[in-house]
Amino acid sequence: NESMFKSLKRHSWVLVLLGVSSMAGGVLPQGVHAQTSEDTPIAPDRRKPGGSRPGSDSIEAPMRRKPGGSRDLLSNNSCRFDPQELTALIPESLKGATTSASPTLFFSVPPISANTSLEFVLRDANDRLVYEKTVPGLGQAGILPMELPPNTLSPSQDYHWYLSVICNNRDRSYDLVVEGFVQRLALDLNQKQNLDLANQIKFYQTRNLWQDQLAFLAELKRDRPNDPEVTDLWKQTLKSVNLDESIATNPLLP
């Protein structure tokens, strides 16, 4: 069941994750290299939302991790922030693999007020609703984790998710929407149990386990929020997929 991912080929760019070499002392990896200038996409970054909510069956429509900025967001709605500050933390391919049946997805969010809702929706390859959750804004900028319930993902199945900020309850065309795909892979992670930090990161990268890599980094960030080495590791990871490195300094939200 690969038709959903194949349909993205005309819109997506190839994500190249290079190997990680360890820093002096063997504690943290050095550069996770960004794409070269000739690989830099000229199309808008689709990890941020456009001005309108896509239909549930619009798989061929442009999908984004960043906003298009075409709609006047300050006139008739409650989203009093720069839409460019909303970002899905995923590769430019919009695909993130995991070995978990209940992975956590991550988003960089602006200070969304408590009277503005965020809606998360997960659908399977046949566009059937799998999971839906609505949460209020937290009034604070940061990295928002969205954890799926236990046993949500089946192995080797493709899932399409949306995160919408509902800016106008009476007109959902004002929603800011980011979207992407996640797939659970049947891999054994016991091999990494005795690896040091540098090789654990490399383990995830060489297997393209983006969601697991980011969850591992989030655990480090929560345990060591003021550790500059952890912040630097976040910056390198974000840079490797052409995301804003400054996101790395934002706190993890509850």
Does the pTM surpass 0.85? The reply is no
pLDDT in tens, 180-231: 999 999 887 766 666 777 788 888 888 899 999 999 999 999 999 989 989 9
Confidence band of 45 (pLDDT split at 50, 70, 90): low
Task: Provide the pLDDT for residue 44.
Answer: 52
Class of residue 23 by CB neighbours under 10 A (exposed 0-12, middle 13-18, buried 19+):
middle
CA distance 247 to 84: 12
* Extended strands (E) in the chain: 87-88, 95-98, 104-109, 117-124, 129-136, 142-147, 158-166, 176-184
pLDDT in tens, 141-163: 999 999 999 999 999 999 999 99
Helices (H) and strands (E) in the chain, counts: 4, 8
Task: Provide the pLDDT for residue 58.
Answer: 38
CA distance 106 to 217: 11
Task: Provide the pLDDT for residue 222.
Answer: 94
CA distance 38 to 134: 40
In which residue are the tokens 């994500």 written? 15
Please give the average per-residue pLDDT across 26-49, as a whole number. 46
What are the backbone angles phi and psi of residue 181, rounded to the nearest 5°? -130, 150
